[in-house]
Chains A and B, each alone.
Chain A
Amino acid sequence: MSEREIMEYDVVVVGAGPAGLSCAIRLKQCKPELTVAVIEKSSEIGAHILSGAVIEPGPLDRLLPGWRDDPPPVCIPVERDEIWLLSRSGRRRLPTPPQQKNHGNFIVSLGAMCGWLAQRAEALGVDVFPGYAASGIRFTGDGAVGGVIIGDMGVGRDGQPKDSYVQGIEIHARVTVFGEGVRGHLSKQLIRRFELDRDADPQTYGIGMKELWRVQPGKSQPGLVQHTAGWPLDSHTYGGSFIYHLDKDRIALGFVCGLDYQDPDFVPFEAFQQFKHHPMVRALLEGGEILSAGARAITEGGYQSLPKTEMPGALLVGDCAGTLNVPKIKGTHQAMKSGMLAAEHIAETGAAEGFDAKLRASEVVRELYKVRNIRPAFYKGFWRGFIRAAIETVTAGKLPTTLKVHADDTALRKRAGYTAPDRRWVERDLPPRDRLASVYFAATAHDEDQPVHLQILQPDICATRCVEEYGNPCTRFCPANVYEMVEGTSGRALQINAANCVHCKTCDIKDPYQIINWVTPEGGSGPNYQNM
């Protein structure tokens, strides 16, 4: 194999999400002479972005003053907040906690907003490369991070180059900024290699699923923000929903489940679909049309789980570090702020060293500290969590205790001796019928003739121990039906339908044996979300 071609930049940013793009834009604003590249694995900017999303405009005001005159494609001011506690057929209005008051915020499509941010970055001279996956890390002679290696394209399922083979290049940079989002596959390696999580609790996650609907005219009330808790989840499963009313008769709705759920037979996708059949939601969707669907893990560990965000030659920004504010149900403003802070730090010092201390002294981490005990309080069930959350909110996080955060992969209970709560789930008739039908609305695409990007490190466990102990939960937690146990000639075996993958990373997180390793497929593969 020949020497890889090399491109050199001052800074390379991995991932064109809100953190990475804010970082790139800010770098050029602070120091226009810096050369900056942004690498993105999705076929176009925003196609792998999935978020609610209600955003706080503060960071946008700072990054792009005047943005309100030329706003992102979907951008509706929030008019009203509602929080509902659902039972199987009823609902009760809850008071809106102060963190969730959205006056002055905007409902956006974060995917569309990232496309809009990328245009602004390009106008400032940033090279934005969608369709190219950073598949490896380049280390310099002294062990520091010195850039990334772009994945080869045109490799067959057997790992051999096809006629179309093109070797990926190396991108060398003085500083590499990782903004890969939740459970970034390179950040995961870096956290391990540099022991960045040594002084932190384990990171915890949730899985968020989202659909965009066009509803019957008049049903959407643009600017209305609704959240629900309760049904269809039992009180020991953390989670809830969002219903955001957009313009043009569109509604974005989604459901988030904490990945610390215990029931090995729980199917998060089914919980989302059940929620849609609650009378309140069903009335909204009936007669409408689903436009787009997808899923993505979110970070929930917050302050306690935040790893060190710097290492020699590189930084972590946004949710690959885990800056999301769970009680606020918002991460975009935090991601943008951490990206901008990283840019200001690099522009000032030209290096990675010193960023972590700056981040921890910044409002990004101060915000996380205030709410640090709210999410872990819900380990003890919904009502105890609710009360603790109220206390923490009133005291603004000034109580001296800090609750521990537990890893998600240890939360799952073994089938033997575990009795699942009676969920009394209802008959469904709203689309999509099942996970395969849902994947269709994610427009996900992978060339089938490429190496499987979901690596099973110990395949013998699947058909033996896991069948016994957990009954193959991967076949249930994956929202895209990637994993199936099939009867073959040599007995039951795991079949991986990698082409369905929507890059949510849930399998890499929730697998109780931690033997699923998500690596990046060929650049440009994956979902093609529109306005998500």
Chain B
Amino acid sequence: MKILVGIKRVVDYNVRVRVLPDGSGVDTDGVKMSVNPFDEIALEAALRIREAGQAEEVIVVSIGGDECQQQLRTGLAMGADRAIQVQTGARLQPLNLAQAFMKIIERESPGLVILGKQAIDDDNSQTGQMLAALWDRPQATFVSKIALSGSTATVTREVDSGLETVEVDLPAVVTVDLRLNEPRFVKLPDIMKAKRKPLDVLPLDALGVAVDSNVRISRFAPPAQRARGVMVGDAAQLVQELRNRGLV
């Protein structure tokens, strides 16, 4: 069985995200970029399934410009067998991403697709669900536990009311949550091995995915800043300040 894992290049979670002064997007000049943390968890899950002998091959897929090859190499260094870059310079909506993944599924026929539950940049949490619909296969989202047996997967989902255990027939789409696992550290020699692993580049338009979007981003804006606090000397002054503001 093959497992397909999605890898998205995002602004690193330690970075203070800053909106460009003209509101056209987020400042990425000189900003550290990383693998979306949920995608790292997805890859770790896939590697563990392969290491348990339940899969033969783990393929990492990223959709974007050539800079995302850096994140694919990280995936290969973690242990993926090969990588596919769907090459595009366009800013894609989740539906486009799902369509592109669908084209890769048609080529590779994986038994399982594991994605992060969402990317930490746009927080959409849509691609996995849309992909399952396009593929017409079961989906299990926000997963904190996966067990495969034969042609089914038993997964635990983190839902608002607690944990939900469901069984899905394979092939299926699984999107993973934070508590599923702790991704491994990359060993230094594995970085060298990753350089020799295959990385295929497929232009998005050659796959026949039309980039049309029914969502238009009009403007980015930072959250409103909190007003400065006032230090008060004692309770009486506090009451006075609150009165002045008409709050009591």
Alpha-carbon gap, A440 to B15, bound state (A):
9
Specify which chain B residues have a CB less than 8 angstroms from the CB of A111 in the assembled complex. Answer: 30
Contact partner, B182, options A163, A440, A444, Cβ 8 Å: A163
Return A439 CB to nearest CB of chain B, in Å.
Answer: 12
A150 at the interface (CB under 8 A from B): yes
Query: Could you tell me the distance in whole angstroms from the C-beta of B19 to the nearest C-beta in chain A?
Result: 10
The answer to whether A44 and B32 touch (CB under 8 A), given A440-B16, A528-B15, is yes
Name which residue of chain B comes closest to A440, CB basis.
Answer: B16
Chain A interface size band reads 20 to 34
Cα A530 to Cα B15 in complex, Å, equals 9
Q: Is B184 an interface residue (CB 8 A)?
A: yes
Question: B92-100, B127-135, B147-155, B188-196: which one contacts chain A?
Answer: B188-196
B15 touching A166, Cβ below 8 Å: no
Q: Which residues of B contact A214 (CB under 8 A)?
A: 21
Task: Determine the distance from Cα of A531 to Cα of B29 in the docked complex, in whole angstroms.
Answer: 8
B14–A528 contact, CB under 8 A?
A: yes
Asked if A355 is at the interface (CB within 8 A of a chain B CB), the reply is no
Query: Per-position contact with B for A41-84: 1 when CB-CB < 8 Å, else 0?
Result: 00110010000000000000000000000000110000000000
Docked complex Cα distance between A5 and B189 (Å): 9
- Name A128's closest neighbour in chain B (CB-CB): B191
Residues of B contacting A445 in the complex (Cβ-Cβ under 8 angstroms): 14
Cβ contact within 8 Å between B30 and A528: no
Q: Are B185's CB and A153's CB within 8 A?
A: yes
Complex CA–CA separation, A44 to B31 (angstroms): 10
Number of B residues with CB within 8 Å of any CB on chain A: 19
8 Å CB contact of B188 from A73, A129, A441, A531: A129
Contact A7 B14 (CB under 8 A): no
Q: Is the CB of B185 within 8 A of A164?
A: yes
- A 489-532 to B, binary, CB cutoff 8 A, 1 in contact else 0: 00000000000000000000000000000000000000010110
B189 and A530 within 8 A (CB): no
List chain B residues, Cβ under 8 A from A109.
30
Q: Does A127 contact B (CB under 8 A)?
A: yes
- On chain A, the residues within 8 Å of B57 by CB distance are none
Q: Is B137 an interface residue (CB 8 A)?
A: no
Is residue B187 contacting chain A, with contact meaning CB distance below 8 A? Answer: yes
Task: Give, as a whole number of angstroms, the nearest-CB distance from B15 to chain A.
Answer: 6
Complex CA gap A443/B226 in Å reads: 21
Inter-chain contacts of A463 with B (CB < 8 A)? none
Judge whether A239 is part of the interface by a CB distance below 8 angstroms: no
CA distance A443 to B15 in the complex (A): 6
Contact B32 A169 (CB under 8 A): no
Q: Given the known inter-chain contacts A291-B18, A528-B14, please indicate yes or no for A7 contacting B185, CB distance below 8 A.
A: no
Give Cα A212 to B179, complex, Å.
36
Between B15, B30, B189, B191, the greatest number of chain A beta carbons within 10 A of the residue's beta carbon is seen for B30
B17 to chain A, nearest CB (A): 11
A255 proximal to B (CB < 8 A): no
Q: How distant is B147 from chain A, measured CB to nearest CB, in Å?
A: 18
- Select A166's contact among B21, B31, B184, B192, beta carbons within 8 Å: B184
Residues A156-175 near B (CB distance < 8 A): 163-164, 166, 169, 171
Residues of A within 8 Å of B30, CB to CB, are 73-74, 109, 111-112, 530-531
Q: Mark B171-183, 1 if CB is under 8 A from A, else 0.
A: 0000000000010
A303 on the B face (CB < 8 A): no
Interface membership of A132, Cβ < 8 A = yes
A154 interfacial by beta-carbon distance below 8 Å? yes
A528 touches B32 (CB 8 A): yes
Residues 351-369 of chain A: 1 if any B CB is under 8 Å from the residue's CB, otherwise 0?
0000000000000000000
A443 touches B14 (CB 8 A): yes
Given A127-B192, A443-B14, A528-B14, A5-B187 contact (CB < 8 Å): yes
Please tell me if the beta carbons of A154 and B15 are within 8 angstroms of each other in the complex.
no
| Residue of A with least CB distance to B191 | A129
Residues of chain A whose beta carbon lies under 8 Å from any beta carbon of chain B:
5, 7, 43-44, 47, 73-74, 109, 111-112, 127, 129, 131-132, 150, 153-154, 163-164, 166, 169, 171, 214, 249, 291, 440-441, 443-445, 528, 530-531
Closest 4 CB pairs of A and B: A531-B30, A153-B185, A445-B14, A166-B185
A/B interface sample: 5 pairs, CB < 8 A: A7-B189, A7-B192, A112-B30, A132-B188, A166-B187
Given A5-B187, A109-B30, A249-B21, 8 extra CB contacts under 8 A: A47-B32, A129-B191, A169-B187, A169-B189, A440-B16, A443-B16, A444-B14, A530-B31
